Structure 1
Amino acid sequence: MADEMEIQTGSPRGVKRTAEALDQDVVNKIAAGEIIVAPMHALKEMLENSVDAGSTAIEVLVKDGGLKLLQITDNGHGIEKDDLPILCERFTTSKLKDFEDLMSIGTYGFRGEALASISHIAHLRVTTRTATSSCAWQAHYADGKLSPAKPGQSADPKPCAGRLGTQITVEDLFYNIPNRRRAFRSPSEEYAKILDVITRYAVHRQGVAFSVKKHGESGAGFSVAAAATKIDRIKQAYGGGVAKELMQFETEDAKWGFKASGYATNANYSVKRTTLLLFINNRSVESSAVKKAIEQTYQMFLPKGGHPFVYLCLDIEPSRVDVNVHPTKREVHFLNEDEIIDLVCINIRENLAKVDTSRTFKTQTLLPGVTPMTPMNGRAGAIAETPPGDESGASRRTSTTKKPYENNLVRTDSKMRKITSMLPPTLRTGDSQDEAPATNGVRYSTTDREPVPVRLSSVKNLRAEVREAMHNGLTEVFASLTYVGLVDSHRRLAAIQSGVKLYLVDYGLVSNEFFYQVGLTDFGNFGLIQLQPAPELRELLDMAAQYEIETDPDCAGLDKDHVVQKVHDQIMSKRQMLSEYFSLEISKDGLVEAIPLLLKGYVPCMAKLPTFLLRLGPSVDWTQEEGCFRTFLRELASFYVPEQLPPRSSRHNPKPKPDSADTEMDDALVDQGDTVEGNRGQEDRVDQAVEKRGKELEHVLEHVLFLAFRSRIVATQGMLKGVIEVANLKGLYRVFERC
């Protein structure tokens, strides 16, 4: 029975083989399959070689989507006859010698694999002539080597007639890889991809003429002259609708070693899919991070589902870029990616804000029943086609036009009129729209200090905690918010709009979470707010301790001197760590020279500084690393939260007993003058100071804080209690429909 089972079972599926080196032909075909995935990749490689050769005119001929024929002709400096025998050998290149040359490579090609790969999967013919040659030379290649044009002939290059430059002809692409050839859907689809590659380079390579046409057709499918400008090239490649709405942007930063320039559409242009032409050091590459960041930047300017056209050229120091990370050179890696992308998006956002005031809307009023918000599906010429008096045709077109529900429309006022402008003068909290309040002489300076990479597991764990607590719906609300106005500065309430919904937001709670996240994101790389003259740490602690003892009954029995000394010693013993991680600079003499800067354009209330320093003693866990960072950043965030202002109804009443540390500002303002109870002049000065601070706060909320919330906050589950939906346009329509 055992013998019978062995006979029926047969040999096992897995058979161990002896390891042996692959045949070189197999290796070459594997490499070719990685580099030349489709006809568009073959064209891209040859196109880049033509540009590297100094060409000013490039012509492309395509048949059956490039599978049957793909020919590119240029007027570059050509190829020497002596180089033709090794032209299609792998890793044969004149563009680098040592591996270190990759650190400063400035050409498109550098590995010498393009033509070699094509020769293994297609029939390749090269015709070239240099300026010093009396005639052109033609050579055929197969499997990386010279081959005869016909059986029985010599494989050596042959002289022929030809113009200056190089013509490369690729026939029967993937003829020996039938499964890949069958995978292509249609020649027209492959031709569209080829056209996309050419138009991208046509836009970028100013001074080079491009043309492409199908085999057998007399007219070119696309062409652009060498003298055409960038905007003309974009218009030729992507249409006049894009070109007329373009705005130019440009930014650079020596600290990150980059310069960015390009063109992007303004808020008048919107399509269903983003078109991003990204060039890094003149290479056409793809980057999901750049694309996502740009789309998020446009969210606040375009209607829902709308996307822009962006041409972005990034010039980065070659030593910061790694080009050798993808077989088809489709991707590159570069240092400080997040910082560079952020600066580019900020520049685009600023340019969008400048032209946003001239936003236009297409309307149609010739037909009855058509409202300005009714989309015409892009058929601007449909009305002109109706003969005069043909009302039946007009009515048919009107009936087929879909009118969107008005409760789904997000209203946009071209003048950006605020709700607060409709309130009576007595109820207005101030006008910060036309004129920004004074900056109190704040000036910013830059530093050459390189950013410190953070590899501490404790900081990474804290960041992971924030991501795990993320609330997706609330994050989307903040990412698409429009600031409406300040509602109550005492309860710290503001109104925002997101879509067709209106929300009431506790900006104190939101600010606390935001500055905690900023502390984690910029950990070890904070800016500095220098205090001049620098106050003494002990005096600040003494001031805060005295205030706590006077206002908090639970602290009445404490020994103030003992508490101050203990906190003072604790902070002084940790001052090097506080300086390195949190930019809290305290001298050996106990002078507070600088505090961390978390957000440019916003300075926290300095009256809260003594309490912040005092709480560093009992409220920070100094025993473990992760707990220390968490509690310190929470206290720092609490210090940065905008202070509560007293209610307007009580500004002329006797000062009430403070209920939080935020009211220290009022005490500081009162204590600066002569504290004479009932002094009318003193009350007026306090009212004026509070009124001034209220206007500053309104400006900061609208132009700094809520803009920062929109761009970088991760809304967490704990923030749900600080956001209340107060109005929904769809719900209001239901109410009105019932009336």
Structure 2
Amino acid sequence: MHRINLLSQRLANQIAAGEVVERPASVVKELLENSLDSGATRLDIDVEQGGVKLIRVRDNGSGIQKDDLALALSRHATSKITELADLESIGSLGFRGEALASISSVSRLSLQSLAAAASDGLAWQVQVEGQDMEAAVTPVSHPEGTTVEVRDLFFNTPARRKFLRTEKTEFGRIEETVKRLALSRFDVQFTLNHNKRSVHQLQAARSDFEKQRRVGLVCGPAFVENSVFVDMERAGLRLWGWVSLPTFSRSQADLQYFYVNGRIIRDKLVAHAIKQAYRDVLFHGRHPAYVLYLELSSAAVDVNVHPTKHEVRFRDSRLVHDFLFSALHKALAEVRPEDHIAASADAAEAPANQLQPGTSDDFYQMESQKPLTLSESGSVHQLSDYSRGAERGQYYQPSAQPRPQLDSLAKLYEADEEIPPLGYAIAQLHGIYILAQNKDGLIVVDMHAA
């Protein structure tokens, strides 16, 4: 039987890296969170070959003192907390002190920084490689703030590198990480470049209009146009943000961002509360889209659950669940059909000469709902034009010769087969209702509640 040995620092760091550094996107997340904790208002991210060759993050934060540079690369070394009581009310994104040590153990890392409090005004650099954990500090020219360069990720752990996806896939994950953090901090400017090509330039947003504009840039203009703003507060909890209308649902849960005190999380309790709020207005198998922010006392939530810090535990989970459900359920209950066509109404108020057929504003270049047609008995003329026109606020001109349409509907009374209870669809109203006809008359069906 083998004797018990104390693991070396290098081996311990590589074991920890297996939890903290899963892929290049994990590195970007940890570095950006450190920059945000330092008070940075501008973040520049440069990536090459999906983050495998190079990840560079530069900020204008408070910087790191010379004497702390080498210590910053040690495990469990952090400036975020100092004593056990600090774990009860964590206000920073990072606090474990494992990120830089884990990253440096599986890459070639260079850290340059000029501290705002440096009396001599000199910047310093520390470089380490996975094979050699000894840090050497040298002077360097650098503006106030910090730059971290991570090169050749997983160069000394080929098994980990072999399981990475394609360059496009890995960069897609990095881009999603930047988007998540950009939605959490509207006051920070984000710039993302891939292979020396600009991908995103998100300016700092301070006004409500600028915040909504950033949401549109990250989630798409269709989401902003088909969402309602929520802002409710009760029992020390505040929920605000944007939730999609029931008509704007997704086939997968890929447009869902939920933040607790500025930290994006994935929590079953939160997901269940939101799903229950949409239960009566959403088709089975469809998913809502939302960008929501929950604010509460830091002592009421525990973020020290997992190394990735994606999971949290609430002190009073029932209170949080009920608050989320009631707030969203109330907001959705107040949605009226006119809210679904608000964009169309705004466009309809424009001068008639601006509503030319075939024209569209970039903000409305979303795919409109396909119109309904008669079943085996003919077609309703110009319904597709109506659907597209209503989407953009244009006026629909009815057919000049409705006789063929009426003749086809008359066949309902001549057919021998049994007519369905809801009859046959003959039109779609406002993209929300179905107008159908059976032997008893006309029926209006709410297609999202049926």
1:75 aligns with 2:50: no
Q: How many Å apart are 1:268 and its aligned residue?
A: 3.7
Tell me the secondary structure at the aligned position of residue 278 of structure 1.
strand
Residue by residue, what CA displacement relative to the aligned partner does 1:276-311 show, whole Å, maximum 9, x if unpaired?
Answer: 211112111111332233233224223454322211
Amino acid corresponding to residue 137 of structure 1 in structure 2:
W
1:227 aligns with 2:212: no
Per the alignment, do residues 268 and 98 of structure 1 end up closer, same or farther by CA in structure 2, a change over 3 Å counting? same
Tell me the secondary structure at the aligned position of residue 273 of structure 1.
coil
Of 85, 110, 113 in structure 1, the residue corresponding to residue 95 of structure 2 is 110
Q: 1:38-437, aligned counterparts within 5 Å?
A: 38-131=23-116, 132=118, 133-143=120-130, 147=134, 156-217=136-197, 220-227=198-205, 229-254=210-235, 257-274=236-253, 275-358=255-338, 359-360=340-341, 362=368, 372=383
Note if contact 2:314-2:320 (Cα within 8 Å) is conserved in structure 1: no
Tell me the secondary structure at the aligned position of residue 156 of structure 1.
strand
Between the aligned partners of 2:229 and 2:242, the Cα distance in structure 1 is 5
1:435 — aligned with what? none
Amino acid corresponding to residue 214 of structure 2 in structure 1:
R
Amino acid corresponding to residue 91 of structure 2 in structure 1:
G
Higher helix share: 1
Rg larger in structure:
1
Higher strand share: 2
Note if contact 2:273-2:324 (Cα within 8 Å) is conserved in structure 1: no
Per the alignment, do residues 408 and 81 of structure 1 end up closer, same or farther by CA in structure 2, a change over 3 Å counting? farther
Amino acid corresponding to residue 117 of structure 1 in structure 2:
S
Between the aligned partners of 1:64 and 1:316, the Cα distance in structure 2 is 40
Per the alignment, do residues 348 and 140 of structure 1 end up closer, same or farther by CA in structure 2, a change over 3 Å counting? same
Structure 2, unaligned runs of 5 or more: 345-367, 374-378, 393-419, 435-439
Residue by residue, what CA displacement relative to the aligned partner does 1:465-512 show, whole Å, maximum 9, x if unpaired?
Answer: xxxxxxxxxxxxxxxxxxx9xxxxxxxxxxxx9976xxxxxxxxxxxx
Amino acid corresponding to residue 114 of structure 1 in structure 2:
A
Tell me the secondary structure at the aligned position of residue 262 of structure 1.
strand
Between the aligned partners of 2:382 and 2:286, the Cα distance in structure 1 is 21
Note if contact 1:89-1:144 (Cα within 8 Å) is conserved in structure 2: no
Q: How many Å apart are 1:374 and its aligned residue?
A: 11
Between the aligned partners of 2:382 and 2:322, the Cα distance in structure 1 is 39
Tell me the secondary structure at the aligned position of residue 17 of structure 1.
coil
Amino acid corresponding to residue 277 of structure 2 in structure 1:
T
Per the alignment, do residues 373 and 338 of structure 1 end up closer, same or farther by CA in structure 2, a change over 3 Å counting? farther
Residue by residue, what CA displacement relative to the aligned partner does 1:246-280 show, whole Å, maximum 9, x if unpaired?
Answer: 211122332xx422221111234222123221111
Tell me the secondary structure at the aligned position of residue 249 of structure 1.
strand
Per the alignment, do residues 47 and 92 of structure 1 end up closer, same or farther by CA in structure 2, a change over 3 Å counting? same
Per the alignment, do residues 357 and 112 of structure 1 end up closer, same or farther by CA in structure 2, a change over 3 Å counting? same
Amino acid corresponding to residue 340 of structure 1 in structure 2:
V
Note if contact 1:88-1:144 (Cα within 8 Å) is conserved in structure 2: no
Q: How many Å apart are 1:212 and its aligned residue?
A: 0.6
Note if contact 2:44-2:58 (Cα within 8 Å) is conserved in structure 1: yes
Note if contact 2:53-2:152 (Cα within 8 Å) is conserved in structure 1: yes
Per the alignment, do residues 162 and 300 of structure 1 end up closer, same or farther by CA in structure 2, a change over 3 Å counting? same
Q: How many Å apart are 1:145 and its aligned residue?
A: 7.3
Between the aligned partners of 1:96 and 1:189, the Cα distance in structure 2 is 35
TM-score, scaled relative to structure 1 = 0.46
Between the aligned partners of 1:144 and 1:90, the Cα distance in structure 2 is 16
Q: How many Å apart are 1:363 and its aligned residue?
A: 6.2
Note if contact 1:276-1:291 (Cα within 8 Å) is conserved in structure 2: no
Which is bigger in relative contact order (C-alpha 8 A, separation at least 6)?
2
Between the aligned partners of 2:121 and 2:82, the Cα distance in structure 1 is 30
Note if contact 1:138-1:160 (Cα within 8 Å) is conserved in structure 2: yes
Q: How many Å apart are 1:233 and its aligned residue?
A: 1.0
Amino acid corresponding to residue 42 of structure 1 in structure 2:
V
Per the alignment, do residues 370 and 43 of structure 1 end up closer, same or farther by CA in structure 2, a change over 3 Å counting? farther
Residue by residue, what CA displacement relative to the aligned partner does 1:573-628 show, whole Å, maximum 9, x if unpaired?
Answer: xxxxxxxxxxxxxxxxxxxxxxxxxxxxxxxxxxxxxxxxxxxxxxxxxxxxxxxx
Per the alignment, do residues 375 and 284 of structure 1 end up closer, same or farther by CA in structure 2, a change over 3 Å counting? farther
Per the alignment, do residues 237 and 370 of structure 1 end up closer, same or farther by CA in structure 2, a change over 3 Å counting? farther
Note if contact 2:261-2:294 (Cα within 8 Å) is conserved in structure 1: yes
Amino acid corresponding to residue 272 of structure 1 in structure 2:
S
Note if contact 2:46-2:57 (Cα within 8 Å) is conserved in structure 1: yes
Q: How many Å apart are 1:369 and its aligned residue?
A: 5.6
Per the alignment, do residues 499 and 203 of structure 1 end up closer, same or farther by CA in structure 2, a change over 3 Å counting? closer
Between the aligned partners of 2:173 and 2:24, the Cα distance in structure 1 is 9
Between the aligned partners of 2:83 and 2:293, the Cα distance in structure 1 is 28
Q: How many Å apart are 1:53 and its aligned residue?
A: 0.7
Q: How many Å apart are 1:329 and its aligned residue?
A: 0.8
TM-score, scaled relative to structure 2 = 0.74
Tell me the secondary structure at the aligned position of residue 78 of structure 2.
coil
Q: 1:455-534, aligned counterparts within 5 Å?
A: none
Amino acid corresponding to residue 233 of structure 2 in structure 1:
E
Between the aligned partners of 1:136 and 1:264, the Cα distance in structure 2 is 45
Segment drifting more, 204-213 vs 314-323:
314-323
Per the alignment, do residues 370 and 314 of structure 1 end up closer, same or farther by CA in structure 2, a change over 3 Å counting? farther
Amino acid corresponding to residue 226 of structure 2 in structure 1:
E
Segment drifting more, 300-309 vs 226-235:
300-309
Between the aligned partners of 1:49 and 1:372, the Cα distance in structure 2 is 55
Number of residue pairs aligned between Structure 1 and Structure 2: 372
Between the aligned partners of 1:407 and 1:48, the Cα distance in structure 2 is 57
Q: How many Å apart are 1:146 and its aligned residue?
A: 6.3
Residue by residue, what CA displacement relative to the aligned partner does 1:162-198 show, whole Å, maximum 9, x if unpaired?
Answer: 2111110001111111111111121111111111111
Between the aligned partners of 2:170 and 2:7, the Cα distance in structure 1 is 32
Per the alignment, do residues 23 and 171 of structure 1 end up closer, same or farther by CA in structure 2, a change over 3 Å counting? same
Note if contact 1:85-1:145 (Cα within 8 Å) is conserved in structure 2: no
Residue by residue, what CA displacement relative to the aligned partner does 1:702-736 show, whole Å, maximum 9, x if unpaired?
Answer: xxxxxxxxxxxxxxxxxxxxxxxxxxxxxxxxxxx
Q: How many Å apart are 1:344 and its aligned residue?
A: 1.5
Note if contact 2:205-2:214 (Cα within 8 Å) is conserved in structure 1: no
Amino acid corresponding to residue 222 of structure 1 in structure 2:
H
1:693 — aligned with what? none
Between the aligned partners of 1:113 and 1:370, the Cα distance in structure 2 is 65
